[in-house]
Amino acid sequence: MGRIDLLTWRAETDAVDRLVDGLLARDGRAQAEAVGAIPDDDGAHRRVWERALLLLSWHAAHGPD
């Protein structure tokens, strides 16, 4: 994984964390800010939402960590 790829991964991970936190807290403003922070790269929105939905599904099935 090159440096650019690692930076993109980290930016997407931050966006996923912020999005999941906002969704779990039912905080619309935090959700909007998280979506706005998703990098504008090919497929980034899809990857962020897929990862967020995976975490939300886990949380729903097993509770918080």
> 2-61 pLDDT, tens per residue?
566 888 889 999 999 999 999 999 999 999 999 998 988 888 999 999 999 999 999 999
Q: What is the domain extent for residue 57?
A: 3-62
Which residues lie closer than 8 Å to 10 by C-beta, 6 or more apart? none
Residue 61: per-residue pLDDT: 93
pLDDT at residue 1, as a whole number: 52
pLDDT of residue 2: 58
Q: What angle do CA 24, 31, 18 make, to 5 degrees?
A: 70
Residue 4 is predicted with a pLDDT of: 62
